[in-house]
A and B are shown apart, each in its own frame.
Chain A
Amino acid sequence: MIAALFDPVLRDVVLGSCLLGLVSGALGSFALLRKQSLLGDALAHAALPGVCLAFLAGRSMGLDPKHPLLLLLGALLTAWIGTLGVLAITRGTRLKQDAAIGIVLSVFFGLGIAMLTFLRDVGGASQAGLDKFLFGQAAALVPRDLVVMGALGAAVLGLLVLLFKEFALLSFDAQFGASLGLPIRRLEVLLTSLMVVAVVVGLQTVGVVLMAAMIVTPAAAARQWTDRLGRMVALAGVLGAVSGVSGAVISALARNLPTGPVIVLCATAVLGVSLLFSPRRGLAWAAVRRLRNRRRVRLENLLKDLWRLGEMDGRFERARAISDVTAVRGAARADILRASRDGLVALEGTGLRLTTAGASRAGRVVRNHRLWELYLARRLELPQDHLHRDAEDMEHALEDDVLEQIDEALGRPSRDPHGRPIPRGSPL
């Protein structure tokens, strides 16, 4: 990566993709929070005809038709018109925003493709590298592209920092902002314009087709890691830059790989890691918690079965044949071993016995179960055959203080609705 900075071509690629990721990640955070991610998609597609128009206009006026400033200005223009189109459709008709976005996206993209094909036939378009606007080609970035992208990107980020507080309020509670006297409509237009610029900055690197991913993905990934807006915006920029750089470098080294898709794949990988492993929201941790919980339920059921065997002859301290215990609900070997390691049961030859700790834990589960059954029967007047299934789940979930309240409310009963004793204290 360091060496890349000394190779002029790679340096441009890295800088360009870094810029793209920074700007689209930061702006994308606001788009995501305002539930306007798809708007980014529409205006990226709407930029394509603008690029072609600018190329045509530049050529007919004798300017350099390949100059990035010209092409990006064209892109800005039609992307803007597309945005206004979405606004006009949602305000002026009964169509909702999703329909408006669908219409604008496909119409402008269709127009863009038609113009691109036309220009290819007339000649010049492929030499001019207009095709790169479709899927992006970071390797084709030259220094003057970077100057234009850098200037636009800096302007966008600068405004974002200056108006951060206002944009935050606009995104969270626009009505309240309006009641404070903020020009909400104008701020909305400005924020959307900044998004248009952010999209245009990334076009040459990622291309119109996949630009939306750079708006959504880094922002969604950043949201996983933090609960503060400022940090989210900064982190989305960083994650966007990392995805941009790694994608661009991979595609530049591999040749023949279009940059856009590779960058998007990198961003998606970042999102995948974030979704799975971010501290509070991570799905992996949730899965681990579920697994632990299930294991605890199996363990408590094993102890409970031992208890019930003890209840039959009143000899809780006796060892029971493992086959008798597993017969009840097929407790797994691993569960028995774990219980014995935790000191809740003792293994004696082929027998299994509750330890003091195990007995008190088992007694608690049985008490939970029977108190809950009694509560359902008395308070909700559920019939007897409806009690067990529910108690089977609740016995593992009831908190001690809730149970204490239930116990008190029922007058510290000694028998459950089926006449079985409600255990209090350890029999050992």
Chain B
Amino acid sequence: MTPPRPPGASVGGGAPSPDASAPTPARTRETPPAPPPALEFHDLTVAYHTKPVLWDFDLAIPDGKLVAVVGPNGAGKSTLLKAALDLVPLVSGFARVFGRPYSEVRHRVAYVPQRESVDWDFPASVLDVVLMGRYGRVGWFRRPGRADRAAATDALREVGMLELADRQISRLSGGQQQRTFLARALAQDASLYLMDEPFAGVDAVTERSIIALLRRLRDGGKSVICVHHDLQTAPDYFDWAVLVNMRLVGAGPMAETFTHEKLQQTYGGRLGILEAAATRLLKNTEGAARPR
């Protein structure tokens, strides 16, 4: 069953809808103080040099969802995550995580960068990398302690990599590298997980185990937001979609957002070849929308 409509899923550029800005939206009838959205952007614009990457973003992603950020190459999907994490300078606007500035809730957020963003020939073992997820808690000048090792070990067990803990990271397959990064995020023990293409370049078996893991996180009350490239699998894997092409094209529950029309808008003329795929997707989406 789909949960009650999340507050403030405002869509499109321009001024935020009243829902997004009002602290307690009129529509919510349940417990008075509505939980703050896991992630929200107000009026966000990001540019590299003078080229805008994200333009006038207003968006609120409710807590406890498994969310896909979808859009063509160079649409600003990764930048969206980085804007949430304070990793890129903002031209205007601001981001909030659980209603607070990121610097105040850092310990509740875990980040999985793109696998290709690091040099895997770095001299480190799998466990070394996973332990990096604990560095935010360890503090300056100190080494990770027993509790940190235990957390890292648990995280490795969770992704099925425990027996590879001592392996040098250059001798991992793509899927194993990805799972190492996921374990590092799990070791952070966060409430919100931001992942940049967690399925890129992994084999089918790993992909299934990763999606199972993400669902476990969601079912445990965590929020997971992933940049996702595969339009085919998006409706099956995720509850919510954010369609990005420099501007916000649409955001909301999968069935309402992942429509032919909106995908056309997102991918522009480039969807031509994807036409057939999109029609097929529509069918999938309809199927997914029905209560199971």
User: Which residues of A line the B interface, CB within 8 A?
Assistant: 33, 162-163, 165-166, 168-169, 171-173, 175-182, 223, 226-229, 231-232
Contacts and interface: CB of A to CB of B under 8 A. Distances in A.
A327 B220 CA distance: 73
Interface string B110-144: 01010001110011110011001001101011111
A171 B117 CA distance: 12
Interface centre among A173, A178, A232 (most CB of B within 10 A): A173
Contact of B122 (A33, A176, A226): A33
A227 B125 contact: yes
B280 interface: no
B179 to A, nearest CB: 16
Contacts of A168: 124, 128, 132
A162 B132 contact: no
Contacts of A231: 123
B14 to A, nearest CB: 30
Contacts of B124: 168, 172, 227-229
B135 A165 contact: yes
A172 B136 contact: no
Contacts of A165: 135, 138, 142-144
Nearest to B171: A227
B136 A181 contact: yes
Given A169-B135, A179-B85, A227-B125, 19 more contacts: A165-B143, A165-B144, A166-B135, A166-B140, A168-B124, A168-B132, A169-B132, A172-B118, A172-B129, A172-B132, A176-B132, A179-B87, A179-B109, A181-B136, A227-B124, A227-B168, A227-B170, A229-B124, A232-B123
A44 B263 CA distance: 55
Contact of B123 (A179, A181, A182, A229): A229
Given A178-B87, A179-B85, A181-B106, A227 B123 contact: yes
A180 B123 contact: no
26 contacts: A33-B123, A162-B141, A165-B135, A165-B142, A166-B140, A172-B132, A173-B118, A175-B111, A175-B117, A176-B111, A176-B113, A176-B184, A177-B132, A177-B135, A179-B86, A180-B106, A181-B103, A181-B106, A227-B123, A227-B125, A227-B168, A228-B124, A228-B125, A228-B128, A229-B128, A231-B123
B122 A182 contact: no
Given A33-B123, A172-B132, A181-B106, A163 B111 contact: no
Contacts of A176: 111, 113, 132, 184
Interface of B: 82, 85-87, 103, 106, 109, 111, 113, 117-119, 122-125, 128-129, 132, 135-136, 138, 140-144, 168, 170, 184
A268 B138 CA distance: 39
A223 B121 CA distance: 10
B47 to A, nearest CB: 16
Contacts of B138: 165
A180 B122 CA distance: 20
Contacts of B141: 162-163
Contacts, number: 73
B87 A226 contact: no
A133 B250 CA distance: 64
A335 to B, nearest CB: 34
A179 B85 CA distance: 6
Interface centre among A165, A228, A229 (most CB of B within 10 A): A165
Nearest to B167: A227
Interface centre among A33, A227, A231 (most CB of B within 10 A): A227
9 tightest CB-CB pairs across the interface, nearest first?
A180-B136, A227-B168, A179-B111, A179-B85, A229-B123, A173-B118, A181-B106, A172-B122, A232-B123
B132 to A, nearest CB: 6
Contacts of B119: 33, 172
A182 B135 contact: yes
Nearest to B142: A165
Contacts of A173: 113, 117-118, 132
A181 B143 CA distance: 17
A231 B129 CA distance: 16
A409 B175 CA distance: 27
Nearest to B188: A180
A179 B188 CA distance: 11
B87 A175 contact: yes
A165 B141 CA distance: 8
Nearest to B112: A176
Contacts of A232: 123
A165 B142 CA distance: 8
Contacts of A178: 85-87
A3 B160 CA distance: 57
A171 B128 CA distance: 13
Given A33-B123, A165-B143, A175 B113 contact: yes
Nearest to A177: B135
Contacts of B106: 179-181
B26 to A, nearest CB: 36
Nearest to A182: B135
A335 B150 CA distance: 56
B93 to A, nearest CB: 19
A229 B87 CA distance: 26
